Structure 1
Amino acid sequence: MAGSETHHILPLPEFDRPVKVLIVVAPYYKDIADDMIAGARAELEKVGATHEVIEVPGALEVPTAIRIAYRQSNFDGFVALGCVIRGETTHYDTVCNDSSRAIQLLGLEGACIGNGILTVENRDQAVVRADPAQQNKGGGAAAAALHLIALTRRFAATPKGVGFKPGGEIRLAGTPEGGSNA
């Protein structure tokens, strides 16, 4: 039974520079969204991260909003929140698959996103997953974003000294530091 399983949860990363996160939420099911936001905020506050919350109409708009902010703003990471409950049509499959795929593609572009868009069979499942005192999927999404931000900072590119340098010196790749190309 899934309820009796134990899961390993990574400790939250520590940051030496401030972290700024955008929470993008589709509040179609407002009570569920509010619980997820509360869980995400609490997790972000544990590491001193600042955050903003924006709302979009539905789960399909969450990745688009993240893409706009990723390209045009200065957020370190993003938390995607929403809930899709299975209905009587295939619309559920489209929304689940397309929102998840778009978020994954943004992550592969380098955006640090914690995906907390619930995809559930019924409202009862959503309530348990959203509740910060139970499964706290909003908090889990925030933690995922924080881990990706930490990883991005850990592997941040350092200048390799290739190309044009001030003073007119030209260095080519593979040339030893301080060496000449002439």
Structure 2
Amino acid sequence: MAGTEIHHQLPLPGFDKPVKLLIVVAPYYKDIADNLVAGARDVLQQAGATFDLVEVPGALEIPAAIGLAHRLSNFDGYVALGCVIRGETTHYDTVCNDSARALTMLGLQGACLGNGILTVENRDQAVVRADPQGQNKGGGAAAAALHLIALSRRWGRATKGVGFVPGGGFQVADDGSTRT
């Protein structure tokens, strides 16, 4: 059983510059969402990160909100939180698959994010996974985002030496000159 397994957790990364994240939560199951947020807040505070919190109607809107923030704002990373409990229709599969796929696509486009959207069979499973003193999946999602931010800062550079530059020009790879 997965509930009895011991999982290794990486220590939280340290940062020499401030870190700001956006927590996007769908409070459809408010008590579950509140516990996920509490777990994420605890981890972000331990890491010395600041954060903003926004609510969206449901799990399908979480990736859209993160996508908007990634394009229009200055957050270093994102934490996606919510809960989808299996019902009697296939809507569960659509919401789980499409929200996960959209978050994965955002990550592949450079958004440093942790996915804490619970996808469970029943409320009891959700309660266990959302417990800030238990499995703490909200905290796990925050930690994942922090680790990706650390990697981004480790590997990132102000410029990679080629491509478009402000002012309408572009930089050529061979000689570092800028052309218009």
TM-score by length of 2: 0.90
Aligned to 1:101: 101
1:70-126 alpha-carbon deviations (Å, 9 max, x no partner): 000000000000000000000000000000000000000000010000000000000
Rg larger for: 1
Aligned to 1:84: 84
Mapped pair 1:31 → 2:31: yes
- Which residues in structure 2 correspond to 1:14-163 (within 5 Å)? 14-159=14-159
**Kindly tell me: are residues 100 and 162 of structure 1, through their superposed partners in 2, closer, same or farther at Cα, counting changes over 3 Å?**
closer
- Structure 2: distance between partners of 1:118 and 1:73: 26
Aligned to 2:12: 12
- Structure 1: distance between partners of 2:116 and 2:97: 14
SS of structure 1 residue aligned to 2:157: coil
Matched to 1:152, the amino acid is: S
- Structure 1: distance between partners of 2:72 and 2:100: 22
**Kindly tell me: are residues 95 and 172 of structure 1, through their superposed partners in 2, closer, same or farther at Cα, counting changes over 3 Å?**
closer
- Structure 2: distance between partners of 1:155 and 1:74: 18
**Deviation at 1:160?**
5.7
**Deviation at 1:32?**
0.2
Matched to 2:125, the amino acid is: Q
- Structure 2: distance between partners of 1:153 and 1:160: 14
**Kindly tell me: are residues 172 and 66 of structure 1, through their superposed partners in 2, closer, same or farther at Cα, counting changes over 3 Å?**
closer
**Deviation at 1:162?**
6.1
Structure 1: give runs of 5+ residues left out of the alignment. Answer: 164-170, 178-182
**Deviation at 1:159?**
4.1
1:128-169 alpha-carbon deviations (Å, 9 max, x no partner): 000011100000000000000000000012546669xxxxxx
